[in-house]
Amino acid sequence: MGIAEWRAQLRRGEVSARELTETHLKRIAAVDPTIHAYLEVTAERARSDADRIDAARAAGTDLPPLAGIPLAIKDNLCTLGIRTTCSSRMLESFVPPYESTVTGRLWEAGAVLLGKTNLDEFAMGSSTETSAFGPSRNPWDPERVPGGSSGGSAAAVAAGECMAALGSDTGGSIRQPASFCGVVGLKPTYGRVSRWGLVAFASSLDQVGPFTTSVADAAEILQAIAGADPRDATCLKLPVPDYSAALHQPVKGLRVGLIRECFEQPGLDPAVKASVLAAAARLEALGCELVDVSCPRFDDGIATYYVIAPSEASANLARYDGVKYGFRAQTSEGGDSLATMTARSRAEGFGAEVQRRILIGTYALSAGYVDAFYRKAQQVRTLIRRDFDRAFEAVDVLLTPTSPTTAFRFGAHTNDPLAMYLADLLTIPVNLAGLPALSLPCGFDAEGLPIGLQLITGVLQEERLLQVAHAYEQDAQVMASRPAAELVA
C-alpha cells in the first residue's frame, strides 16, 4: 500500500504507527546485512517517533499528512544529534548541531526516521562503490550495484526497508539509482526544495528529492519538503501547488517529445531502448502525441558537467582542513605545519574519487585555465538550457531512457572512471538546465533487471511531470509483471 492508504488505516485505528515501524525494522534486520542500504539505523528514535504519533491519535489530535510513515534519509542531509558522514572518513564522527530544512519538514509532517542511508563519498559516484564504509547492493541482484550516488536510499526503498527515502541529485544521483533499483525517483526544479543542511557537492546543481514505490507517494513527499526557505538564498519564494491533485488530470492531447540524441547513443542497451520506446507507444495509446525533437548539445552535457561540478566541489570541500571539524591526521613527533597537517588530513580523509574531482576542479579554476575550461563550460551550459527551452516550445514533456544500461556488476567500471561517468550521460543535462525530471520503471531486461524511463518537464512543471508519470504507471502496471516476487532472499 502507498502512503495515502496507510494514512487512512492509521487514522481509522486499523494499524498503529508502532506496528508499521516495527514491521520495517524487522525487514531491515532481515535483509540489510546483505543490502547494506543503511549506515545507521535509528531504531529507538523510530519507536519514540511512532509512539508519539499513536499517542496523538489516541488523544483525538488531527494527524499531519505523513504521520507514522517510516522514512530513510541519505547521509549527506544533516540530522540534529545523529551522525551525518557523507560516507567519508572525513566526517566519520560528525554530529550536526542542527536539522536540515527538508528533514525538519518531514518530522513536522509526522514522518518516522528509520536511519541514514549509504552513498558514494560526498555524493561523488554512480554506483555507491566509493563509500568509505562499503558499497550498497542492488536488491534485484546483490552482485550488481544499486547506482549512485543515492544508492543506499534507492536500495532501501526497493528492498522494503522503508516506505520512502530522500536522496540528492547533482547529475542523476536520484534518477539513475531509481532506474537501477526499479523505484520512482524525482529530481525537482532547482530551487523548488531547500538545500539548507544538505552537505554541498556542487551548489548550482544539487537538489533534494524523494525515492518511492509509486508516483503518488513521490507527490506526497514532494508536497512535504517543497517551498521557500529564508535560509537558502537559491530556494524559490513561490507557493507550492497541490501535487496529488495533479495526478488524475487526463493526459490526452499532451505532446511528448522523444529526444533524438538520447536514442542514438552507441552505448544504449537495445533492451533499454526497446522498453522505453514501448513506454512511449503506451503514452500514445493514452492519447498523447509523440513528437521527434532534437537537443543538439545534449551530448555535450557530460563534458560540461565534469568541469563545472568538480570546480564547485573543489571550492566547497576546501572547508575540510582538519582544523574546525572533521578528520584530522595525526601529527608527526616533531609537529607539522598547518599546511602539512591540512594536506595529510585531506589525503587520509578523502577517498580516491573525491581527490580526483578536487584536483580536476582546482585545475579548471587555476590561473590561465579558468577561461579555457570553467568559463567555456558555463557558456555551453547556457546553450544546453536553450536547447531545452526550444524543445518545450514544441512539446509538453520530454521522454528518454534514464540510464543507457541496467545495473552493472560490481567492479565493472572501477578502473575506468570515464565509463563510470557515462552512466549519467542521459541525466546530467537536466541538472545543468535546472529542470525537474522523474525516473520510473518501464520494463525489465533479459536478466530480469529493471529499466527506467525518464520524463522531463519545464521549470516548475512538477505537476505536469507527475501527471504524465502517474498516467503511464497506472496503465502499464510494470511492477505487477516483475520477474521475481521477492527481491532478496
Side by side, the strands of the sheet bearing 38-41 are: 38-41, 112-117, 70-74, 164-168, 208-212, 184-187, 437-444, 450-456, 397-401, 255-259, 289-293
Active site residue 74: yes
CATH number given to 3-251+436-481: 3.90.1300.10
- As a whole number of angstroms, the longest Cα–Cα distance in the chain is 75
Under the banding of pLDDT at 50, 70 and 90, the label for residue 489 is: very low
**Residue 173 annotated to the active site:** yes
Among candidate residues 88, 131, 136, 173, the one labeled active-site is 173
| pLDDT surpasses 60 at 287 | yes
Residue-wise pLDDT for 183-227, tens only, equals: 999 999 999 999 999 999 999 999 999 999 999 999 999 999 999
The C-alpha cell 576546501 sits at 318
247 within 8 A of 220, measured Cβ to Cβ? no
Torsion of CA 350, 353, 356, 362, to 10 degrees: -60
Which pLDDT score, from 0 to 100, does residue 484 have?
56
- Tens-place pLDDT, residues 288-322: 999 999 999 999 999 999 999 999 999 999 999 98
Q: Which of 16, 149, 150, 194 is catalytic?
A: 149
Query: 4: how many CB neighbours lie within 10 A of its CB?
Result: 15
Residue 333 has pLDDT above 70, yes or no: no
Kindly state the average pLDDT of the residues 110-136.
98
Say whether 87 is catalytic: no
The proportion of the chain whose per-residue pLDDT surpasses 90, expressed as a percent, equals 91
Write down the domain spans for the chain. 3-251+436-481
242-286: pLDDT as tens digits? 999 999 999 999 999 999 999 999 999 999 999 999 999 999 999
User: Which pLDDT band holds residue 417 (cuts at 50, 70, 90)?
Assistant: confident
Look at residue 93 in the predicted model and tell me its pLDDT. Answer: 94
Average pLDDT over residues 49-58: 97
- Check pLDDT > 50 for residue 348: yes
Q: What pLDDT score does 485 carry?
A: 45
Give the pLDDT of residue 334: 64
Q: What's residue 324's pLDDT?
A: 83
Q: How high is the pLDDT of residue 130?
A: 97
Residue 415 banded pLDDT, cuts 50, 70, 90? confident
pTM of structure: 0.96
Query: Which position has the higher pLDDT, 422 or 125?
Result: 125
Per the prediction, the chain carries an average pLDDT of 95
Q: Among 16, 74, 131, 403, which one carries the catalytic annotation?
A: 74
